[in-house]
Structure 1
């Protein structure tokens, strides 16, 4: 009798969890309208905000000469993509804005990205081909994020946040993109939010 009761409790718990997952509703926590832009990706292709519209995308700010957080952030983004692939999510993009465009040519960005194992490279766009003043202003206006080239040295000051941008070009959620803690970056949450955002758009 006790075994049957334990089994029944287990089944009810599983049903509750599955029900909660199916009823999950995407809730924006920010609303930043991304300014219009046209840039060049690591494949030498032109990428604009208008081209990205229609699908949600994940955004981050990095640069290839970074000696601290950029490599871990890029690796964390590859982990998020793996989560998306496991869930069968396909209609999305990943956009990395270089905060050091003078050095990060498309060729340099392509070489940088080649050191990572990507579930689907075609979803990635590491962007450059704009000037330093522009990216500093763009980051502030579009994502409320600080980007600043220091007067001395080559280590650009920038944030470690990942942003979820909806299909209309509005940043709707922000997440920790780098953490010293192993469980500090919410990989699964980001994947679920992306998946839910896409499903809700298709259901409209």
Structure 2
């Protein structure tokens, strides 16, 4: 084989890997289709999220353990994203208690935090089984209703969804959120 062909092929492979950046996902699950309601009573679908990277998590407003610190962590992440000048992103928080988490309850919950609501949808308007299935099939996480209390068990991860609608990575969303890694991954997905 000609040395020029080999060199050209190696150069092309190098350029392709350089263009894809250093992103390494740890999962690859298609985001199932949905049509939910956000905190403003507006419909949000999985199609609406396509074309931009999305940071997602699971919460509920009546949570008395992990949800307040997780939401605080997400607001810090959002601030860091915007401080880095990243504009092409969205955030989504799926309620795991849709019966209680009406748009009004979500709006009241949001008011406790400083966040950019233009980029962040808190979603409800579905059956519990729907969000439980979504969590398992798209995010590989369990959402379980505790019949002995008003609390829910749910994932505490932060997830990254690619512009093509694939859940590609999960990160710690509770103890030590890797903000720099998430922002670098966001940028890489934007450029790909």
Please indicate the TM-score interval, normalised by the length of the shorter structure.
Answer: 0.7 to 0.9
- Whether 1:154 and 2:146 are equivalent positions in the alignment is no
User: Matched residue of 2:93: which SS?
Assistant: strand
Preserved CA contact (<8 Å) 1:80 1:188 = no
- Structure 2 CA distance, aligned partners of 1:165 and 1:48? 14
- Structure 1 CA distance, aligned partners of 2:168 and 2:81? 18
Preserved CA contact (<8 Å) 2:20 2:188 = no
Q: 5+ residue gaps in structure 1? A: 1-21
- Structure 1 CA distance, aligned partners of 2:49 and 2:31? 11
User: Matched residue of 1:174: which SS?
Assistant: strand
Residue equivalent to 1:106: 103
Residue equivalent to 2:183: 191
Residue equivalent to 1:59: 56
Preserved CA contact (<8 Å) 1:32 1:143 = yes
Residue equivalent to 1:6: none
TM-score between the two structures when normalised by the length of structure 1: 0.82
Preserved CA contact (<8 Å) 1:40 1:129 = yes
- Whether 1:167 and 2:156 are equivalent positions in the alignment is no
User: Matched residue of 1:54: which SS?
Assistant: coil
For 1:84-116, what per-residue CA distance to the aligned partner results, in whole angstroms no more than 9, with x for missing partners? Answer: 111110111100000000000001001101110
* Alpha-carbon spacing, 1:199–1:100, altered in 2? closer, same or farther (3 Å): same
- Structure 2 CA distance, aligned partners of 1:172 and 1:178? 19
Q: 5+ residue gaps in structure 2? A: 1-18
For 1:153-190, what per-residue CA distance to the aligned partner results, in whole angstroms no more than 9, with x for missing partners? Answer: 110011100100001110111100001xxxx2111211
Question: How far is 1:80 from its partner?
Answer: 0.8
- Structure 2 CA distance, aligned partners of 1:152 and 1:28? 37
